[in-house]
Chains A and B, each alone.
Chain A
Amino acid sequence: MEKIIAKLGLGSCGIAAGAGEVWTELEKIVHDEKYLVKLEKTACIGMCFEEPVLELSGPGKPTVMLGTVSPGDVKSILDGYLSNTLEYNNIILHEHKEAVHNDLIGNQQRIVLRNCGVIDPESLDDYEAAGGYQALRKALTLKPMDIIDEVKASGLRGRGGAGFSTGMKWQFAFNARSDKKYIVCNADEGDPGAFMDRSTLEGDPHAIIEGMIIGAYAMGADEGYLYVRAEYPMAIKHLRKAIADAEAKGYLGQNILGKGFNCELHIKEGAGAFVCGEETALMQSIEGKRGMPTIRPPFPAESGLWGKPTNINNVETWANIPWIITHGADAFRKFGTEKSPGTKVFALAGKIKNSGLIEVPMGMTLHDVIYKVGGGIKDGKKFKGVQLGGPSGGCVPASLLDTTVDYDSINKTGAIMGSGGMVVMDEDSCMVDIARFFLNFTQNESCGKCTFCRIGTRRMLEILTRITEGKGVMEDIEKLEQLAVKIIKGSLCGLGQTAPNPVLTTLRYFRDEYIAHIEEKRCPAHSCTALLKYEVVPDKCVGCTACARKCPVQCISGAVKQVHEIDQSKCIKCGACYTACKFNAITKV
């Protein structure tokens, strides 16, 4: 009898949600009780909010995916599935039946994430069985210039954020004359709220490596680096194994596939500096120096690592390459828009129901991404804005939800596509505080080379902090706008040039919130602590004393079954009473 397959998602998110314990339990049951079950590991399935996620399939049985599985559920799930009587309270996908998330998957198009959550990322056999390294075999029969032409024809644009034509970038590196050229994969995903690259690195490392080998062949490079954040230990582990396996199988190293082409790849672990995501800073860091950006030109294509021509692409860009070579530029152009072909991976997070990793065709509206794929806003709250592009991006308001997801349309809103972080904000998120949050981040991460970036962001942060504390004046808004323009003009690299974006977009779309903070000393979202007051609603208070017992500074008075009162002079605004009250009798004003 053929075995059924139980596949468990063991990416970082899965493990953080307890998938490790579920795996141990699965192994134990299957081994001890001799179940006819084959256990398989995979990485990120994309539905992080449902982790741990278990997929079951078998001959003559429907494929089903179960969410929020705990070790205690394992035995009854296996028994139920084997005897065709599976009952489980969270079936998230079902091949033949309506399930919670059939829509979520139906609206996606997976090119980059084609193997993520499907194959075992640590198995080269799995990758090959899914068509892996066929693109490399094909590429090595082509002339380098033909490959570059194909990439150009696909219209692929750099997925790291700026959206420059990948084919053109390859052409520049190809044209450069040198005895030595390098390729680099930028996997220094530093944007807070973004985990696209981590999931791809963990879930399908060979796709990135295959893309890089093809790129190296096309551009005439024979050595490459993957610069990975040290905060991603599993990504590094999977990449190390993938490189070793690819070398053993003759896909990497000397005389690749007998075609006389050599290429070696190294992993460089980052050491914690956001600015190293900028390409010139990244190269400084690979060289072992402080990661400070340098002036361009010369561009890396002429003079990069150790002064040699270098091509840098982001993880997602590289992962697109094997698909394009296998299926052709025309097939790629069937997805997306004229100027932004293909798909884009987004990390959905924040106040959204289906937080996780998604891949949609370019040209989908933000509304569809958030409501159709993302399932809408959590806890029945109201949508306020969506933050795109991390600290370099901006907040797009509800009125612009019809904006389509492509480089040019998003740029028009003042935000940027960025690498794909999408953090959804609801009515409880204060937009001034969000701007302050990002400025605090860029201010911390500024390398200090350019004066405007170093000191200007600091001044902006001070002003924003003042406003969130209710100490702002109306002239502050003008000062913020002036500083923003100067920082953009006076900074060498992308970090400084885009640092004011979160402030500029919130000023553009949520100006009334700034004014409420300054003139009325009020935070409309009830989020800024200094402008917040907790009060008891006398009509609702039943005098249960729950709040008074929780208050850490004993500032709530009132006898049992009597209306309670908060002493505002002692209140530290910790919100403990607000959480403790079961009768909604404490309100934020």
Chain B
Amino acid sequence: MQNSRQELDAILTRFKGRHGALIPLLQEVQQLEGYLKKDTLKYVSEQMGVSAAEIFGVATFYSMFRLKPQGKYVIRVCKGTACHVSGANTILNAIRENLKLEGDEDTTEDTLFTVMEVACLGCCSLAPVIMIGDQTYGKLTPEAIPGVLGKFAK
């Protein structure tokens, strides 16, 4: 915890006085802590002299910021046009079923995976596509999902 606070302070120091710094700052904070914690945002607000409302406004506007803990691996399911016409929905359903996610849950109980829908990953010729971490998987079928996810399971 102590270390983490020091690293956080180091980030804040680097961004102090720079204009237009709020978004990259929050990106780094999220990188450090996994998601944007309420207490951390309060601390950022005090240290940077930016109102908590402004920070919260920015954090909720952009889809990349997360206010809840997320899994070790983030699965981005592409919902772009090419993927949509190639069956992205069946891929998403297969993933959710495989990970036993119900209702609006997006993170598995063991916090290994978080499933996110994204607009377009730009690999349209490989549709349907998902990304796990930095790795892209293309030309998927629902049957291929257990195998792909299996590589990441503990």
Contacts and interface: CB of A to CB of B under 8 A. Distances in A.
Contact of B64 (A17, A272, A438): A272
B118 interface: yes
A349 B23 contact: no
B61 A291 contact: yes
B27 interface: yes
B95 to A, nearest CB: 15
B82 interface: yes
Given A193-B80, A193-B81, A272 B63 contact: yes
B20 A423 contact: no
Nearest to A441: B119
Contact of A16 (B20, B23, B24, B137): B137
Given A16-B137, A423-B85, A290 B61 contact: yes
A34 B136 CA distance: 32
A383 interface: no
B125 A387 contact: no
A285 B23 contact: yes
B41 to A, nearest CB: 15
A559 to B, nearest CB: 26
Contacts of A306: 19
A429 interface: yes
Interface in B88-140: 90, 118-127, 129, 134, 136-138
Contacts of B119: 190, 192, 274, 441, 445
Given A192-B80, A273-B63, A390-B81, A48 B126 contact: yes
B61 A230 contact: no
Contacts of A445: 119
Nearest to B134: A233
User: Which of B21, B62, B123, B138 counts the most chain A CB atoms within 10 A?
Assistant: B123
A15 interface: yes
A12 B23 contact: no
A429 to B, nearest CB: 5
A574 B118 CA distance: 23
Contact of A231 (B61, B65, B121, B137): B121
A106 to B, nearest CB: 20
B116 to A, nearest CB: 10
Given A349-B82, A350-B85, A288 B21 contact: yes
Nearest to A197: B122
B120 A192 contact: yes
B58 interface: yes
B120 A288 contact: no
Contact of B136 (A15, A195, A351, A434): A15
Interface residues of B, number: 40
B38 interface: no
Contacts of B122: 12, 189, 194-195, 198, 231-232
Interface in A255-299: 268-274, 285-291
A287 B27 contact: no
A547 interface: no
B152 to A, nearest CB: 17
B20 A349 contact: no
A441 B82 CA distance: 14
B64 A349 contact: no
B57 interface: yes
Nearest to B139: A17
Contacts of A447: 61
A13 interface: yes
Contacts of A189: 122
Contact of A290 (B21, B58, B124, B125): B58
Given A193-B80, A230-B64, A288 B27 contact: no
A61 to B, nearest CB: 29
A588 to B, nearest CB: 14
A287 B19 contact: yes
Given A198-B122, A349-B124, A423 B82 contact: yes
Nearest to B21: A288
Nearest to A529: B89
A495 interface: no
A271 B129 contact: no
A425 interface: yes
Contacts of A390: 81
Interface in B41-88: 54, 57-58, 61-65, 79-86
Nearest to A292: B61
Contact of A273 (B24, B62, B80): B62
B10 to A, nearest CB: 19
B124 A269 contact: no
B125 A288 contact: no
A193 B82 contact: yes
Contact of B124 (A268, A347, A575): A347
A291 B59 CA distance: 11
B22 interface: yes
Nearest to B136: A16
A349 B86 CA distance: 10
Contact of A288 (B19, B83, B84, B121): B19
B136 A194 contact: no
Interface in A392-449: 421, 423, 425, 429, 434, 437-438, 441, 445, 447
A191 interface: yes
Contacts of B83: 192
A13 B82 contact: no
Interface of B: 19-24, 26-27, 54, 57-58, 61-65, 79-86, 90, 118-127, 129, 134, 136-138
* Closest 10 pairs between A and B when the two form their complex, measured CB to CB: A48-B125, A349-B124, A193-B81, A16-B136, A192-B80, A271-B62, A272-B63, A288-B22, A355-B125, A195-B122
25 contacts: A13-B126, A16-B136, A17-B138, A48-B125, A190-B119, A191-B120, A192-B80, A193-B82, A193-B124, A195-B122, A231-B122, A270-B62, A274-B119, A285-B23, A288-B58, A289-B22, A291-B62, A349-B124, A350-B81, A351-B85, A355-B124, A390-B81, A423-B124, A438-B81, A574-B90
Given A192-B82, A289-B22, A290-B57, 18 more contacts: A13-B123, A16-B129, A17-B126, A193-B82, A230-B27, A230-B64, A231-B118, A231-B121, A271-B26, A271-B65, A272-B65, A287-B19, A291-B61, A349-B124, A350-B81, A355-B82, A355-B125, A390-B81
